[in-house]
Amino acid sequence: MGMGTTVYLWNIGLLITSFLPSLFAVVAPPGSANVPLAVGSICFGITVIGALAAWSAKETHRIPLNELGSPDATPVSREEYASVRAAAR
């Protein structure tokens, strides 16, 4: 994923976040009953979606940077990882 893509994703995230107060006002207008329940349910739903995304994401620990995104990427051995990490210090 290039830097341009990352910037677009951040902007989309900020766009969605900036619309949340409007969504909350539509779902639970001032004076309505159970406002904390309505807003909390929306927040919980967003949290569940984020948790599912994190759970389903592929682990990238010990995978070389040039192999990220490749479906057949394999992690380096623990010994090689430890030696490269020690050399970097």
pTM: predicted TM-score of the whole model, two decimal places: 0.62
Q: Which residue pairs from 56-61 have beta carbons closer than 8 angstroms and sit at least 24 positions apart in sequence? A: none
Position 4 pLDDT exceeds 80: no
What would the pLDDT profile of 36-65 be if each residue is shown by its tens digit? Answer: 999 899 999 999 999 999 999 888 888 988
Alpha-carbon distance 74 to 65, whole Å? 11
